[in-house]
Amino acid sequence: MRGDGVHEIELTVNGVVRRAQVSPETTLLAALRDSWGLTGSKLGCDVGDCGACTVLVDGLSINSCLLLAVQANGRDVVTIEGLGGFEYLHPLQAAFERLSSYQCGFCAPGMIISAKALLDENPAPTELQIREALSGNLCRCTGYTKVIDAITEVCRDHAGAVGVEQSV
C-alpha cells in the first residue's frame, strides 16, 4: 500500500498479467471494468444477489462485486472475454447462441461463466446439478429452460470427446 491509500495489484486476467492502482474500496468488478476495460462482466445489484458479475477466480465462480480488487491480488481470473470472441465461440457460447437462450443478454456473461465453472468441475452434470450451479444467476427476461437445455447440449455433444458417460 502506498502512503495515499492506493494499492498496487497484479493478477492474471484471461491469461494476461494485469496491473492497476486501486483505492481500497475498489471491487474486482470495478477493476475489471474501469481499469482494464473488460466490460463483459456486469453490475446488476452490487450485493451478490444477481450473478451478472460472475467470474472465475482460481477456477471457482465468484461474484466479482463482492470481492475487493486487493483480495484478487496474485490470483488467476477468467471473465467472459476469456472464453471466446465474435469469430470463435466457446462451445458453451455456441450452444447458448444456437438456442437463443437470452433476450436482453445482461445476465449472459455471468451465467456462461457459472456454466463453465460447473463443467470444469463436473463434465456430466444432472439437470438438478445444472440448476444448482446456476442458482446464483438471475434472469428476468427469458427464464432458465433454454439455458439448461444449452448446457445439457454441450455435455451431450462433447461427452464423447473425453469418454464421459452421459448422466440421466
Partner 1 sequence: MSRKITDEKKAEGQKLLAAAPVTHPPAVVPDSLPSVPALTPEVNKQTPAVGQRVARPDIRTHVTGTTRYIDDLSFPGMLHCKILRSAHAHARIISIDLSEAGNMPGVVATLTGDEVPVNSFGSTYKDQPVLAADRVRYRGDGVVAIAAETEQQALEALAGVKVEYEPLPAVFDPLEAMGPESPKIHRNNNVYTSKVIARGDVDRGFEESDHIFERRYTTQMIEHVPLEPFAAIALFEPDGQLHLYSTNGRITLGRADLARTLNVPMNRIRLTATIIGGNFGGKNEIRTEPILALLAKKTGRPVKAVYTREEEFIASTTRHPLVMDYKTGVAKDGRLLARAVHLVLDGGAYASWSETTVGKAAILAAGPYRIPNVRVEGHAVYTNKTVTGAMRGFGAPQVAFAYESQMDEIASSLGMDPLEIRMLNGFDEGSASHTGQTLQAVALKETLLMAAKRSGWQEVGR
46 vs 149, which CB is nearer to partner 1?
46
Of positions 85, 135, 143, 156, contacts partner 1 by CB under 8 A: 85
Residues 103-162 that bind partner 1 (CB under 8 A): 103-109, 112, 116, 119-123, 138-141, 154, 157-159, 161-162
Q: Can you tell me whether residue 139 is helix, strand or coil?
A: coil
Contact call for residues 84 and 44 (beta carbons, < 8 A): no
Render 6-45 in DSSP notation, one character per residue: -EEEEEEETTEEEEEEE-TT-BHHHIIIIIT--TTS--SS
- Binding-site residue total for partner 1 (CB under 8 A)? 64
Angle between helical axes of 145-159 and 108-121 (0-180°, round to 10)? 40
Of positions 11, 28, 52, 151, contacts partner 1 by CB under 8 A: 52
11 vs 133, which CB is nearer to partner 1?
133
90 lines the binding site for partner 1 (CB under 8 A): yes
Q: What angle do CA 157, 161, 164 make, to 5 degrees?
A: 85
Candidate ranges 8-16, 67-75, 86-94; the one touching partner 1 (CB under 8 A): 86-94
Give the nearest distance from C-beta 31 to partner 1 in angstroms: 13
DSSP 78: E
Only one residue has cell 465461440, namely 89
* Residue 51 burial (10 A CB sphere; 0-12, 13-18, 19+): buried
Give the nearest distance from C-beta 142 to partner 1 in angstroms: 10
10 vs 60, which CB is nearer to partner 1?
60
Q: Which residues of the shown chain bind partner 1 in the complex (CB under 8 A)?
A: 23, 25, 33, 39-47, 49-50, 52, 59-62, 79-81, 83-94, 96-97, 100-109, 112, 116, 119-123, 138-141, 154, 157-159, 161-162, 164
